[in-house]
Amino acid sequence: MPERSMSEPEPTSSRDADYRSAGFAGKLGFGKRPAVIVIDMVMAYFDRTSPMYAGVEAVAESARRVVDAALSSGVPVFFTQQFFDDALAGGVYARKVRALQLLRRDSALAELHPSVPVERGTIVVKRFPSAFHGTGLNARLRALQVDTLIVTGLTTSGCVRATAMDALLHDFIGVVVREAVGDRDARAHEANLFDIHAKLADVQSEGDVIGWLSTLRAA
């Protein structure tokens, strides 16, 4: 059975130093106008009878704390929901990831986790890994004058990484919350967090992100 622990990574000081000396892992910090996005917090990852079950209950709890902090500070929150439909059936994505067939609109596995306060945010329906691709998310963020996208959700090696990549390509500061993202395998999770932090976005702790959001409320 795949390892599913989301424990902290082993020390990698020599690897970190090597990447820094090569010019990677620059610090972006926080901008001035953030938004939070919760990626695909769907029941397929939480229902123990689902083939996609990933043992990521702690991720949902962390993401909810980040969302609550954002909403308390008046920061906009977006929730993505991915659906498989007939338009995707013959495409490369569906051929590569057969699990998409579980995410039909009429399936309980495609529903968002009960912890997601959908009534307090904006739903973004996506059909590909990135929350930006074909969704209009970029235009929505620009209309809100957002400069920083705080990324939470599932999964680190898939849709979280794709969204962090596209945030960079659309010139947003990306902040991935370490405890609020997860994957079915801890090795994939940690490897992708390392690479995201090196090249795409800042990987920050939940405590640091919530602490920053609270300063916006105070301001």
β-bridge mates for residue 73, sequence order: none
Show the tokens assigned to 156. 């680190």
Residue 20 domain flag: no
Most confident residue range from 7-11, 167-171, 215-219: 167-171
Residue 97 domain flag: yes
The pTM score is 0.89
Residue 10 domain flag: no
Instruction: Domain count for the chain, please give it.
Output: 1
Residue 190 domain flag: yes
Residue 22 domain flag: no
159 annotated active-site: yes
Residue 12 domain flag: no
Phi–psi pair at 160, nearest 5 degrees: -65, -50
Catalytic residue among 39, 66, 159, 193: 159
Residue 55 domain flag: yes
Show the tokens assigned to 195. 């690479």
CA distance 56 to 4: 8
Residue 120 domain flag: yes
CATH number at residue 89: 3.40.50.850
Continuous H helices in the chain: 13-21, 57-72, 92-96, 137-143, 161-169, 186-199, 206-218
Continuous H helices in 117-185: 137-143, 161-169
Helix (H) or strand (E) holding 32: none
Amino acid letter, residue 173? I
Range of the domain at 189: 30-218
Q: Does position 12 have pLDDT exceeding 70, yes or no?
A: no
pLDDT in tens, 13-65: 788 887 877 777 678 899 999 999 999 999 999 999 999 999 999 999 999 99
In whole angstroms, what separates CA 16 from the centre of its chain?
A: 23
Instruction: Judge contact between 78 and 58, C-beta under 8 A.
Output: no
> In this structure, how many other beta carbons lie within 10 angstroms of the beta carbon of residue 169?
12
The share of the chain scoring above pLDDT 90, in percent, equals 77
Q: What is the pLDDT of residue 219?
A: 67
pLDDT in tens, 154-196: 999 999 999 999 999 999 999 999 999 999 999 999 999 999 9
Mean pLDDT for the chain overall: 91
